[in-house]
Each structure stands twice: as C-alpha cells, then as structure tokens.
Amino acid sequence: MTTSRQTTISAQSATARPRPGSADASGGRMPRLWTRTLGDLTLTYVPDAGVHMIPTRVYPASADEDWTDHGPHMTDAGHLAMGCGALLVERRGKRLLLDAGHGRISGEDPEHFQHGFDHVQALPEHLERLGVDPRRLETVAFTHLHDDHTGWARPDAVDDPRSLFPHARWIVGEGELEGLNTASGPRLAGQGARTTAVADGTEIAEGVRAWALPGHTTGHTAYILDTGDGRRVVAFGDAMHSPVQIQHPDWQVVLDHDRARAEHSRRRLVQFLARDDVYGFGVHFADQQLGTVDSTGHWRPWDDERDER
C-alpha cells in the first residue's frame, strides 16, 4: 500500500478492540459511531442496527466449508457480522446523509437469513449526540430503497408523516423508482413530490457524484466523494454486503434483483477500490466499514489506525 493512503482520524473515531481470549479478529463486534476527516470531508458513520447473519443463507451459492478462511468477519458462534446505518458527509458547513438506517424495528422477528439483531433504533439518538438536527438536513441520498436503507425516511418512521427528516429532499439513482412494487406503498415520506432520480455521473452535492451500480436493485447507486486533496471515497451501499465478496464476486446475495448485473457491478467496484488513493465505505461491513482493497486483493480495514471512544 502506498504511503499516500493516510487518513486523519478525529478524537471521535471509535471501534472496540478484540475481546481478550477471542479468536474473532474483527467480525464479532458490532459497528459503533466514528468520525474521520479526509481532506475537506468529515465522514461520520451513524449506526442504527447490528445483525448476525446465517452465511449460507445470505450467500446461497456458498457452503459451510467456504467460510473456514473468513474468520475475521464471523462471530464466535459462526455467524456473519453485519451492520446497518447511515453515512453523514460534511464539507464547509454543508451536510448530506447517505441512506437512512433500518428505522423503527423491534429486532424480534428476523428474516430467514438472519440469526438475530444485536441492537436497534440508535440512529436518532446518535444524530442528537452529534448535534445534528434531522429537521435541518436538506438532502438524503439513497443507494437504493430497501427497507434497511430507507428506515427513518419512511412515512411511518416517526409520528410526523414527513419522517425524521421532514424538510429533506430525497435522491435516488435513475431506474430505482421504476423497480418498486407500487402495491407495497411508498418507501419514502412524500415520495412523489420530494424525490429526484439522478443519472450516472450526476453531482448531487459539492464533490459528490452518483455512480450507477445496478443489480442488487434496478437503480442501485453508489456515491463517489472527492476529498479535495486527490483522494476519493466510494460509499457503495449493497453492491457488496461483506468483505468476503471481494474474494467471491460471483457470490450473489439472496436479495439481488439481477444476479448477472450485480456480479458485473461488484467486479467493477473491486477494480475501482484497488486503485491508489481510493477508499471504500461498506455500510454493512460490521466494524470494518472504511478501508481499501490491498495488493493481495483483500479488504484492508483501518483497524490499526482507530482510537477507542
């Protein structure tokens, strides 16, 4: 890895260290709030839920023996650790939220591919802790409109039918709205009036461009953030759900809409992440959300650069 791959981490940066006596190098821990500064950008991961997945159900093409070498992403009980939340992007006093968490869930009724939740309903409290008033957020951009990304933006998210973000405009990728099942009702509060669909390459805020990576959904979109000092960060949503897909881009996720297009998007993404001065943000990557693809073709999180909160 080149020496240019450096990041300044604020005093707010946080993640737990490995538990004493645990063979679990990372994945047994759930995501925590952290803040980092890269160039002109301040990035804050705002957690909303932690969940333990059943690996072979999330990735139906995999078998139990395929997970032997993926211990760093597993819990001690053999489940795949994942997180859910949002990324707060700040530059020169302007704020943008990427995705809106899982929302108001009990955690008592997991899907067939989930073992169980670790924590839920933390995003509003974390925003308050950060001094961010959701009523003043102007823009929320979504990688796609699955429930675990639209959570606090849904019309039933809070008592106010305008959602936790009553004055925000919504941004989605081109084609995403057309792929929705209209019979299930709107995914976003005020969906028709407040939503703008953007084409590949559209600049949605200063230094933030949409990158179409379809397949998981019809209009799945990543966002490439220019740090202002020659580096880039790509928030790639569900183009990958876990670092294991870097080694196994052919492993479809159970919820992929179009398996072939999703695999093509993953391969494009991995190639991009392998470039110098390109960083990735994987919202579901448990406590390894921010990192790079190193020269060996593996995900390299910044564990050695993190501070305890």
* pLDDT tens-place values along the chain, 309 residues long: 232 333 332 323 333 333 333 333 434 567 889 999 999 999 999 999 888 888 999 999 999 999 888 888 888 888 898 999 999 999 999 999 999 999 987 777 777 777 877 777 689 999 999 999 999 999 999 999 999 999 999 999 999 999 999 999 999 999 999 999 888 889 999 999 999 999 999 999 999 999 999 999 999 999 999 999 999 999 999 999 999 999 999 999 999 999 999 999 999 999 999 999 999 999 999 988 999 999 999 999 875 444 332
Sign of dihedral through CA atoms 267, 80, 291, 227? positive
pTM for the full predicted model: 0.88
Instruction: Please count the other Cβ atoms lying within 10 Å of the Cβ belonging to residue 273.
Output: 21
Q: What is the pLDDT of residue 39?
A: 95
Q: What is the pLDDT of residue 72?
A: 80
Q: What is the pLDDT of residue 19?
A: 33
Q: What is the pLDDT of residue 74?
A: 84
Cβ atoms of 85 and 146 within 8 Å: the answer is no
Cβ atoms of 299 and 293 within 8 Å: the answer is yes
Q: What is the pLDDT of residue 5?
A: 33
Q: What is the pLDDT of residue 29?
A: 65
Q: What is the pLDDT of residue 32?
A: 87
| Residue 59 in tokens | 């990735």
The domain made up of 8-305 has a fold known as: Metallo-beta-lactamase; Chain A (3.60.15)
Instruction: Please count the other Cβ atoms lying within 10 Å of the Cβ belonging to residue 167.
Output: 12
Residue type, 233: V
Q: What is the pLDDT of residue 28?
A: 55
